[in-house]
Amino acid sequence: MSQSAPAGEGALTREFLMSGELPRMIARSMPDIRLTTDAERAASLEAMLAERPEHGDGVWVFAYGSLIWNPAIHIAGRRHAQAIGWHRSFCLSATLGRGTPEAPGVMLGLRPTGECPGVVLRVAEEGLYHELDLLWRREMVAEGYIPRWVPVADGEGNALGAAIAFTINADQPSYCGDLPEDEIVHRLATARGRLGTAAEYLFRTRDGLAEMGITDAFLERMAMRVTERLNSIDQ
């Protein structure tokens, strides 16, 4: 039996993604940003599937941010996993969903080197293209990410094969590189956009991992610092 997590990230529901409203919303609010066309997204997805390393009962998708707690696609299962050769980083400036141009937030991307604890989501073979098309409508609406097949392992280090992961595109204008940690904390504690606050994004990612029995020291530290900042703002 397939399942989908409850929609918890503002407007990012299946229905919203299928409606095509997301790119229209971005175009209205950020007229200077270049959006991918339907043909480009389709070609990107087809290229990924052409490079599919394994064929069988579905594919893995690696979740390291909001996909953990709001995938918005039907999944056949999930499990703890690590992306090998990549690490989680707040390196994508957010000026719409969880921030504004005047007070930008910051979101996660996968950057090369290291290991990233996260969750792999199993997308069943039946309906595979439709579910991945929804995923592409969500993650590839602009040019912030580069989809790749990345090696993943379970919590004990045993290889699980390869998973689709949306890695950061460092050659596009929303990439913000190595921000000082104090700046990241400031953005996470203060930014708000159409999908909610940047702090919610951080806390729900941390909590989504915790529900799977996963502790990420980096996210724990950031959550502690953002909580302290929020408390100081409220005083």
State the catalytic residues.
Answer: 139
Residues ≥6 apart with Cβ < 8 Å to 187: 90, 99, 103, 104, 105, 106, 179, 198
Give the residue from 42, 44, 77 showing the smallest Cα distance to 58. Answer: 77
Q: Please state the φ and ψ torsions of residue 126, each to the nearest 5 degrees.
A: -70, 120
Q: Please state the φ and ψ torsions of residue 119, each to the nearest 5 degrees.
A: -135, 135
State which amino acid sits at residue 222: M
What is the DSSP annotation of 106-135?
A: EEEEEEEEEEEEEEEEEEESTTHHHHHHHH
Question: 3-state class of 167 per DSSP?
Answer: strand
State which amino acid sits at residue 163: A
Alpha-carbon gap, residue 104 to 69, rounded angstroms: 22
Give the residue from 137, 133, 146, 198 showing the smallest Cα distance to 172. Answer: 146
Alpha-carbon gap, residue 89 to 77, rounded angstroms: 26
Give the residue from 89, 93, 152, 91 showing the smallest Cα distance to 118. Answer: 152
Tokens 């399942």 label which residue?
A: 3
